[in-house]
Amino acid sequence: MGPVHILLRPTQTSLSSFLAAALVSVSLFSCSDSPPSDDSTLPRDASGEAIIVPDLDESDGSPVPLHIGDPCTPEAHQCGIGQVCLRLKEGSGVCTLPNCTMELIETSQREDSCPEGSACTEVSIVGPLGYEYGRFCLRVCEPVTDHNPCAEHHPDLACSPASIFATGHTEVCGELACNSDLECNLGNPMDPNASCDTTLNLCFLRGTPEADIGSPCKASTECGEGQYCLPEARQGDVVYLPGGYCTKVGCRYGGPWACPEGSACYSLGAAQALSLCMATGCDPKAPEESDGCRDESSPADAYECLVIDAEGVCWQPPE
């Protein structure tokens, strides 16, 4: 069997569903606003058969099993009861709990069935037969700007703000860590698309210099340096972010995710879990065709100049 590894890249279906749900219930806040209080007493509803997680701290004298997010060897049975060793790359795996229930961001209840400290994550499994998809519990993380917080638990994983798209509510240790530019460019030194930040162990796209926040896109390589393409999403007959939207994900964390000139950081959704850079500098008093925002022909006038904290922001208005 050839090499198998995971990519923390949500499927087009899951990303479209995430964006559609977020935009339907959109609430925009500047990142300086205080987030709403979090009711930690909400029940954890599995929306179906709950996964019973054993108490791994109890020992009967046998070797202590590894916990979710710990490194493992795919050929060995080292992980906890009910867990599997998900292969990351040749000779390296991570302990996970499979077949979990995903969080629904449009509801206030907690559907994520993973144990505390982990989150249900949709991943692409890349192997000899192509792409397959699965849902696994991975360790939760919080991006920081001075080190890779996942390295403490697993040397081959890193914490990317964009991983929130694969869970719907939090970041996880699921991005393959890099230590050189070659690991970002699929081993091809002639490919200039990405470089490795060896402090964070994350790959960042060099991008297209002339692309600004808010530019149309189909792929992140069409956006500016370190930016991410939110692709056009559809739910039934409704189109969200027509033509795509270049942004930076996780701007609340600053550092390489901070918003460039001509944009500002805002949180999306009632829970404010997702922070994005949005294009600013438009004129909310001007006619839509000349307000400084992109106007798409289908659907007509999709992007409007919204006023947020007295700032003109180009974004699709909530329904």
pLDDT, residue 26, reads 44
Q: What is the pLDDT of residues 10-30, one digit of tens each?
A: 555 455 556 655 554 444 556
Asked if omega into 74 is within 30° of 0 (cis), the reply is no
* CB distance 96 to 68 below 8 Å: yes
Q: What is the DSSP-derived secondary structure letter of residue 22?
A: H
Continuous segment of H or E residues that includes residue 17: helix 12-24
Write b or e for each residue in 57-76: b if 16 or more Cβ atoms lie within 10 A of its Cβ, otherwise e. Answer: eeeeeeeebbbbbbbbebee
Q: What is the pLDDT of residues 244-262, one digit of tens each?
A: 999 999 999 999 999 999 9
Is residue 205 pLDDT above 60, yes or no?
A: yes
* CB distance 6 to 174 below 8 Å: yes
The number of residues in the chain equals 319
pLDDT, residue 207, reads 86
User: Which residues are CB-neighbours of 237 under 8 A, at least 6 positions away?
Assistant: none
* DSSP-derived 3-state class of residue 93: strand
Give this prediction's pTM. 0.79
pLDDT, residue 191, reads 58
pLDDT classification of 64: cutoffs 50, 70, 90: low
Is residue 114 pLDDT above 80, yes or no?
A: yes
pLDDT, residue 189, reads 57
- Amino acid type, 312: G
Pairing of strands 130-139, 173-176: unpaired
- CA torsion, points 242, 219, 157, 265, in degrees to nearest 10? -50
* CB distance 173 to 158 below 8 Å: yes
